[in-house]
Chains A and B, each alone.
Chain A
Amino acid sequence: MPLPTITDFLAEPIAKRALLACLLIGFSNGFVSAFVVLRKSALKIGTISHSLLPGLAVAVLIAGLSQWSALIGAIFAALIVGLGSIFLSRTSRLDQDTAMGVLYTTAFAAGLLILKNLDVRQKLDEWLFGSIIGMADSDLWIAFGISAIAVITLTTLQRPLLIYLFEPNIAASLGVPVRLLNYATFAVTILVLVSSLQAVGCILSVGLMVAPAATIYLLTNNARTLFWGGGLLGALGSMIAFFLSYPLGWSVSATIIVVLGTFFLLAYIFSPKYGLFSKRRGVA
């Protein structure tokens, strides 16, 4: 039996939802990726995203499977690994990266064991690798809410945030509320990670939250462009991936990351200012 055409496919509510989700999640993750790139915290994001899984596992264990228990569990897990690593590094001779490395892999493994024994096989795959096709209306609303919060927060805080990202000491000396920014951006990061869990899963989510702005970073000297450009590129990449994956029969989540990775590679090679062939490279 031949595949229905893409127009037929798009007539299905489930496909419309998935496309809309791609755009939303792609945009909000791309927007936040500007912050992640400027903060140089890509690895930390990887750590936190992996720790979402055990959070989900414990939430399911305690409260049963529901969207809200999953959301709250994920947030708790990210907090515990984030704060736990700070605590471990302060109370031992280890640095925070090492502490995080041990904490999050242990938590991730424990999460796997719990979920395998809980008979939520299907969900486990979704959380690991994403399932944008399986999104319900309520998932879409959550994604929309999270995207709105992320964009509004980062836009509102943009002026002090950029100074803080440039140099924290200068920021503090100018009266920028550094601690408030830390809390606000941490909260936004975790919320957006949770939203991307649905789309690409906790293993690939780092890509969605780093690659868009990393690409724009090679093209611009304007930090504001990094945010909006990252958002647009994230949305565009996710949309292209959505349309590519259908006729090819590829997983949407993996395709999103591959498309974004391809964008990055192209910018890395061909960027007029900072590409491999650019004359100005190495001026710094």
Chain B
Amino acid sequence: MSAVATHDKTKEHVCWGGGCEHTQQHRLEVVDLSVQYQEVRALEKINFATECGRSMALIGPNGAGKSTLLKSLAGLIPGDTGKILWRGKPLTRSSHEIAYLPQRGDIDWNFPITVRGLVEMGRYPNLGWWRQYSRHDAEIVERALTSMELRDLEDRQISALSGGQQQRAFIARALAQEAHVLLLDEPFTGLDKPAQENLSRLFKELTAEGRLLIASHHDLQTVTGNFDDVLLIRRHQIAFGPVADSFTPANVSRAYDNQDQASSN
């Protein structure tokens, strides 16, 4: 399943999105981000910086704010203080360069839509309300379907897919959007072992193509090997850095120990 072989590489950078030259310029920087949810402070002073070509695991106990952080990065929840910089500019609303993939449980799998229909949704930022679906759009959708090995399944309703195929269909939607950044909420959840291995291979290909992947993740056993960086949070930030440096037993226990305390304050 090589996505690389199926499309033309642009000069240095192989992201499908246009208008970018160097991976170094595709920098996502979060500075002192805090988010308030009604009366509850969901996130406090989150700081990290990463760039295209890397993958980052978002680790923390339930209620730590993982989904909230992903939604903030997707422009779905406004931060109260601090800022999110994407390619040097403040991110104040949603951008087609950043794709959001919700948790499995948030999806209505019986919705009358086929795999192709789902992937075509990714063209919305380009098409708007009325613009005609063009050859160019069709080509990008084909490419996304092909690279996720979904060509034979494209007419299936989305519930008639395996868990791994469903996950790939949503990634294909993000590729059709020509996103540089993929924000995935618990992508490995509900997949069997082979599908998980398949997905982790896919992650490596997507980052090799120059995309930035940020995924919330709850399986502590599979962080090493699947991700380059890790961000440990529990409403506030516990650690950020390369997995080898920051994913230490000490940091993990700071994130998970005395959970009752964490949820009561």
A residues near B (Cβ < 8 Å) are 38, 156-157, 159-160, 162-163, 165-167, 169-170, 172-176, 217, 220-223, 225-226, 280, 283-284
Contacts and interface: CB of A to CB of B under 8 A. Distances in A.
Contacts of B160: 280, 283-284
25 contacts: A38-B112, A157-B129, A159-B128, A163-B124, A166-B108, A166-B113, A166-B121, A167-B107, A167-B108, A169-B76, A172-B75, A172-B94, A173-B74, A173-B98, A174-B121, A174-B124, A174-B177, A175-B125, A217-B112, A221-B114, A222-B114, A222-B117, A223-B113, A226-B112, A284-B159
Interface of B: 71, 74-76, 93-94, 96, 98-102, 106-114, 117-118, 121-122, 124-125, 127-130, 157, 159-160, 173, 177
Contacts of A170: 100-102, 121, 173
B109 A284 contact: yes
A229 to B, nearest CB: 11
Contacts of B129: 156-157, 159-160
Nearest to A174: B124
A222 B124 contact: no
A9 B177 CA distance: 58
Nearest to A156: B129
Contacts of A156: 129-130
B185 to A, nearest CB: 9
Nearest to A217: B112
A163 B124 CA distance: 9
Given A160-B129, A162-B113, A284-B160, 6 more contacts: A38-B111, A167-B107, A174-B121, A175-B96, A223-B112, A283-B159
A169 B106 contact: yes
Given A174-B94, A284-B109, A221 B157 contact: yes
Contacts of A175: 93-94, 96, 124-125
B100 A173 contact: yes
7 nearest interchain CB pairs?
A284-B159, A173-B100, A221-B157, A173-B74, A174-B124, A173-B94, A223-B112
